[in-house]
A and B are shown apart, each in its own frame.
Chain A
Amino acid sequence: MSHVAAIDLEIAPTQLDALEAAITELGGTLVRNQKSYKWYGQLVGGGSRGAEFDNLKTAPGVCAHAIRPAGWKHGDYEGGVVEATDGTFRLVWDSYATGVNLDRAFGVGGTRIKDHLGAELAMRHAARKGQRARKEILADGTVAVDVYVD
């Protein structure tokens, strides 16, 4: 092994197709251009809302696209793909009530979506370069992609 790079995964607005593929792989649905996502509707005191809610361009409940987990029914909470002030997309939702279904399907803060998005981007990157690539899910849930370079 010659070098190791550690990367915080980010979601660029130009990666919407890959994001949709990642959400679909997890059994969910990306609802493109739905500009609001269902949540409790108001902030209440005493809770921690998570760092993913910091530095967003829009108010809670407003999004660029919405996310639904498998088994979503009308009235259930949804996730939002929300633009942040740095130009990247964040994945946010209300984790209370039916929001727990989003946590279960996609990981708290959308970490499972990010993992599958990263793998999707790596596979697409390899395909563009004409390189052979193989994806596997390890026993601990890690998504791994091997790219073979001639």
Chain B
Amino acid sequence: MKRIRATFKDGKAEVKTFGFQGSACLDATRDLEKALGKVTGDIKTAEFRQTAEVEADAVNRR
């Protein structure tokens, strides 16, 4: 199951996503991040890049 974990400490938030494919994680959290405040940093992890590459390959083969 896909999961979003939001943590709050010292007036700052961190939003992490687990189990999403490629850019779907960005779509899933965009509204929540906007509701919480000002995004000051955004890091795409290895999982994001791997699934994004798979998506791109699939598109290129069509």
Contact = CB atoms under 8 A, between A and B. Distances in A.
User: Could you tell me the dominant secondary structure of chain A's interface residues?
Assistant: mixed
Interface stretch (A4-12, A25-33, A40-48, A67-75): A4-12
Contacts of B40: 6-8
20 contacts: A1-B16, A3-B25, A4-B14, A5-B33, A5-B41, A7-B12, A7-B37, A9-B11, A10-B38, A110-B11, A115-B8, A115-B9, A116-B8, A118-B6, A122-B6, A122-B32, A125-B32, A138-B7, A148-B2, A150-B2
Contacts, number: 138
Most buried by A among B3, B20, B36, B38: B36
User: Could you tell me the dominant secondary structure of chain B's interface residues?
Assistant: strand
Contact of A111 (B11, B31, B35, B38): B11
Interface string B14-47: 1111111010011011011101111111111101
B3 A149 contact: yes
A140 interface: yes
**Range for the number of chain B residues in contact with chain A:** 35 or more
Interface of A: 1-10, 15, 107, 109-111, 114-116, 118-119, 121-122, 125, 138, 140-150
Contacts of B9: 115, 140-143
